[in-house]
Chains A and B, each alone.
Chain A
């Protein structure tokens, strides 16, 4: 059984928000749209986004880490948002594991957003229905889109290719290999939601220098025997 998912590499994500706005432009005119903005040109603008990047600091100066953390629906394998939905609007697709909302059935009761431990479901205040990441379900199967671009909008936009997309149930897929080899992890496993999306951790490269590397025989300074030995000033003159 297929389970599509995103794997986000925090080792290279620079927090540029490309995934945020690419998602918005694709989806607002797409199947899951529109994505309304409240006060778009006024005070405290706020709108619907399926994907947001949070930035936070960890540690104390000067050992501070600045972490950029993109977050969207994790398409849990055991999604708590689905059973709590009174109308069946929230559902998980058998064929690919994508969790979707049928706006026609959604009554905007917000049960699912309370049930989601990740806070990724947003009520579209204009339409009063729950909206969230669809894994770009209207792109990834669209045969009119060239195959190499038939991926979520956030994935094709991401300048650092921090966002990998694929089937986490296929052990040979790019995403499964990345999770295995780079220590990919799921968010808050203790909730038992088994998120399909995973994150790859930061990895730190260091350079080790051996002391003898600083004093090598081929040091170019040896070519600069600056104080030229002159005939009237030799060791002979100095040694008693």
Chain B
């Protein structure tokens, strides 16, 4: 054997290094890809990249096995004539045929009724483009996966503080002294959060994890506080109760920067009941939140305009205006709201002892108050007050799907945001910090059309496909108050469904409620498996036919890089490329990768050639948009504007001459501008030269207090990041919700909800946070189904994506149901034994694993490890299908019929966020004669034409030798 170090690695073949962006998950780390003889040799984190600073996770380090996975689709496919949908019988066709066929079909739909075409996408990172495509097509039926992921987190926080966790903001662990992580959050912000938690711990901060399960990051928490799923709201409200009781809140922050001191009209007889009292000011051009509300002056004991210099307002009390209108500051209403939410009350709901809740409140309140940070950074607020320093109260929070995926998630997240506000931690050092383009107005400006007339043949949609309703008039409903969208988004059923409800599309389209579709295009979402609730039924619906023998969903197109459970149901399969084979942008128009200190966006640049006939989905959209002559894609003569996707990225502007495009760096003819500027023909090259990202660091005085920072807001407006340079005051009290409530109560003359929904809207659209049991529990016999079942996300897998990955699947080849030993013993379930877990919707046979790090009222498993036989390039006897399982079979996409309707989504009643974690279950052992196999099972999928089928039993990847070893061009 040659002595090690005899030859440098780069001499072992033709060596190249290329910089691009990882996409083994949605975190988007910068990577350097080393190639040997054109094959991937090593992927390392890019040390210069602001996001991951050189590190890389388990997924990112396994990119090689994704690139060369046998699950890859390599040819466009069409369901064979006469073959049943779902049988997996395909023939290969050419891209020309694909485009002819699609252009003809979609053109026909667009010319008649554009809403019959629906485009729904997974976590694609190209929502700006897919959304543009849908809008240009003219269909309202578009959304990405946010509705079944974490829209509660986005909406709950954005409607409260004007920003949210992950892409748009996060915990400033560099300066925090106390960090509280609640619920599963392992996958949202992957490497940056790991980097930050580790530094935080090394700096001596205290890390508290509140979670039913102690895995993942919770393992290294200084304190683990187990909690029952779905009860986080009760905990927050009790914490707020204790902080207010003791005066452990930041009074100055609340009065200056939130609506806590603003006076609410409490005249029962008024249509303004529950709204802020306003004095008249002439309407100001370009203003979303006129500063015409009132405080109660402490000194003079009378009402006064908010932010009157020198005035200190009351936060508590009950007052009467000159016309005798009774008013209270919003904070008084909050105090009254949390009166009954004592720690003792919360203890009974959350399972956390009352003393612990009190201590947590004290630790938060005292750390915030007594360990203040003061940075010598001068800044000016929007009211022209000069500040010599930036102050921070170093308590930081982080949460994601654990809070979000409950039907009470929106109000829970409102409560969390208000807790963060009481502590004075918004956009301040050591607390929560925004990331550009946030903060944005509450709510942000984008709106959908508000009636069916916004959908017009052969015309773009008259509004955005997704938006942020501010009042009932913004809903997307018809004259009867019924939904226009196939997923019923932005209707009275889910008024603030900012990300749509992808989880109900198939069921609604199948039932024809509100109507039937013609063509459903699904990109990169496994709706026949782990991305859907009620999996077995949804699979049936996908292939279900009418009496006349036609499919109820007439035409299904699936674009994906891999042979997933979903591709089997396609009539047309469009093979996508991997992340190493394509151009991409992480755009400011979408979800960029900004840092606390300023905007950052980035790109992918291909490092290897596309495999087989794979085509980037972006190219498919550009081609179709051009053929269908969408106004954005062709010139006045109908001639195609953009050669291809890279050309589109450079030259597309949001409006002619707007200077705003997909990429914010190196704009202007010669690349001398940023954020706004003319298209730069050499923009890609300039990104490539800079390691694939553009980072604009703001001056220090613009980096904090951005909701109220005059310099920042003016700068943001000048550079097209926001429309207004107005203060974005925190909505402790939500007038937006009150407007929906008033309508439901019939007090206002805005649009009214259908009668069946009045009660529901009135109850849940509460302007102050409140706790309610998750909807499913309310409608279920919880004595029969005493346990909660949830999933957590393994750090080494990204949803269903990585079972095809030979290295990662060795870490999680199959999953278990984790259960506390006492709970298991009571049910007679042995460690490692086969068991049943059953909800009112179905049952699943799986393997048990006893666990002391699981709250006894909870059972849980890793998300999306279980697979259908033969899917994802796996052999039919692979662990994923024989032992692995999905909890999805236990979860319904709809609530049981109740007084609000028959087919309401199993979702948050405000945002439509899928309530994955609400399901109630019971457990019992599997019988001795039952097969040692997970249940349910489905007929094995066949490999599709063009897939690699033969892989040796022994396989060893060596860069530069793969093509030979696999007998196939990679």
- Does A associate with B in a complex? yes
Which residue of B4, B54, B57 is within 8 Å of A100 (Cβ)?
A: B4
Contact partners of B958 in chain A: CB under 8 A = 28-29, 33-34
Give min CB distance, B56 to chain A, whole Å. 5
Give min CB distance, A112 to chain B, whole Å. 16
Interface string of B207-237 (1 = CB under 8 A from A): 1000000111111101110100000000000
Residue of A nearest to B62 (CB): A21
Contact partners of A65 in chain B: CB under 8 A = 214, 219
Cβ contact within 8 Å between A226 and B316: yes
Q: Is B8 an interface residue (CB 8 A)?
A: yes
Cβ contact within 8 Å between B42 and A25: yes
Cβ contact within 8 Å between A149 and B874: no
Give min CB distance, A67 to chain B, whole Å. 7
Most buried by A among B61, B197, B796: B61
Compute how far the CA of A210 lies from the CA of B328 in the bound complex, rounded to whole angstroms. 35
Cβ contact within 8 Å between B58 and A20: yes
Q: Is B521 an interface residue (CB 8 A)?
A: no
Contact partners of A61 in chain B: CB under 8 A = 226, 820, 852-856
The size bracket of the interface on B is 35 or more
Q: Is A157 an interface residue (CB 8 A)?
A: yes
Q: Is A189 an interface residue (CB 8 A)?
A: no
Cβ contact within 8 Å between B42 and A224: no
Cβ contact within 8 Å between A220 and B806: no
Q: Is A213 an interface residue (CB 8 A)?
A: yes
Cβ contact within 8 Å between B9 and A44: no
Compute how far the CA of A102 lies from the CA of B421 in the bound complex, rounded to whole angstroms. 62
Cβ contact within 8 Å between A37 and B813: no
Compute how far the CA of A206 lies from the CA of B208 in the bound complex, rounded to whole angstroms. 10
Give min CB distance, A221 to chain B, whole Å. 4
Cβ contact within 8 Å between B220 and A45: no
Given the known interface contacts A14-B194, A64-B853, A66-B853, the answer about A156 and B55 at a Cβ–Cβ threshold of 8 Å is yes
Give min CB distance, A104 to chain B, whole Å. 4
Compute how far the CA of A61 lies from the CA of B212 in the bound complex, rounded to whole angstroms. 11
Compute how far the CA of A40 lies from the CA of B99 in the bound complex, rounded to whole angstroms. 36
- The majority secondary structure among interface residues of chain A is loop
Cβ contact within 8 Å between B795 and A15: yes
From A79-87, A139-147, A167-175, A191-199, the one touching the partner chain is: A139-147
Cβ contact within 8 Å between A42 and B877: yes
Which residue of A42, A207, A224 is within 8 Å of B206 (Cβ)?
A: A207
Query: In A63-83, which residues have CB < 8 Å from any B CB?
Result: 64-68
Given the known interface contacts A41-B875, A220-B247, A224-B314, the answer about A207 and B809 at a Cβ–Cβ threshold of 8 Å is no
Q: Is B879 an interface residue (CB 8 A)?
A: yes
Interface string of A31-49 (1 = CB under 8 A from B): 1111111111111111101
Query: In A209-240, which residues have CB < 8 Å from any B CB?
Result: 209, 213-215, 219-224, 226, 228
Interface string of B194-205 (1 = CB under 8 A from A): 110110011011
Cβ contact within 8 Å between A43 and B852: no
Which residue of A16, A64, A145, A203 is within 8 Å of B796 (Cβ)?
A: A16
Compute how far the CA of A206 lies from the CA of B362 in the bound complex, rounded to whole angstroms. 13
Compute how far the CA of A42 lies from the CA of B873 in the bound complex, rounded to whole angstroms. 9
What total count of A-B pairs have CB within 8 Å?
267
Give min CB distance, B715 to chain A, whole Å. 33
Cβ contact within 8 Å between A14 and B197: yes
Q: Is A4 an interface residue (CB 8 A)?
A: no
Cβ contact within 8 Å between A37 and B955: yes
Cβ contact within 8 Å between A126 and B796: no
Contact partners of B440 in chain A: CB under 8 A = none
Give min CB distance, A59 to chain B, whole Å. 7
Compute how far the CA of A145 lies from the CA of B806 in the bound complex, rounded to whole angstroms. 28
Interface string of A1-17 (1 = CB under 8 A from B): 00000000001111111
Which residue of B190, B804, B810 is within 8 Å of A47 (Cβ)?
A: B810
Q: Is A190 an interface residue (CB 8 A)?
A: no
Given the known interface contacts A66-B853, A205-B206, the answer about A220 and B57 at a Cβ–Cβ threshold of 8 Å is no
Q: Is B705 an interface residue (CB 8 A)?
A: no
Cβ contact within 8 Å between B42 and A26: yes
Contact partners of B809 in chain A: CB under 8 A = 45
Q: Is B723 an interface residue (CB 8 A)?
A: no
Cβ contact within 8 Å between A159 and B853: no
Contact partners of B70 in chain A: CB under 8 A = 41
Given the known interface contacts A43-B878, A60-B852, A66-B218, the answer about A161 and B198 at a Cβ–Cβ threshold of 8 Å is yes
Which residue of B8, B804, B879 is within 8 Å of A143 (Cβ)?
A: B8
Compute how far the CA of A180 lies from the CA of B852 in the bound complex, rounded to whole angstroms. 33
Cβ contact within 8 Å between B45 and A156: yes
Which residue of A62, A64, A159, A223 is within 8 Å of B57 (Cβ)?
A: A159
Cβ contact within 8 Å between A31 and B4: yes
Given the known interface contacts A14-B217, A61-B854, A157-B44, the answer about A138 and B317 at a Cβ–Cβ threshold of 8 Å is no
Q: Is B960 an interface residue (CB 8 A)?
A: yes
Q: Is B545 an interface residue (CB 8 A)?
A: no
Q: Is B456 an interface residue (CB 8 A)?
A: no
Contact partners of A104 in chain B: CB under 8 A = 1
- 10 more contacts with CB within 8 A, not counting A14-B194, A45-B809, A61-B226, are A14-B795, A34-B958, A40-B951, A45-B813, A65-B219, A66-B218, A160-B197, A161-B195, A209-B366, A214-B248
The 8 closest A-B pairs by CB, nearest first: A34-B956, A160-B198, A220-B251, A40-B806, A159-B194, A221-B247, A17-B58, A219-B247
What would 17 A/B residue contacts be, using CB atoms closer than 8 Å?
A12-B198, A13-B220, A14-B198, A21-B808, A25-B62, A39-B875, A43-B882, A104-B1, A141-B5, A148-B47, A159-B52, A159-B198, A206-B222, A207-B206, A209-B362, A223-B314, A228-B301
Which of A's residues lie within 8 Å of B, judged by CB? Answer: 11-18, 20-22, 24-26, 28-47, 49, 55, 57, 59-62, 64-68, 100, 102-105, 125-126, 134, 137-139, 141-145, 148-149, 153, 156-162, 202-207, 209, 213-215, 219-224, 226, 228
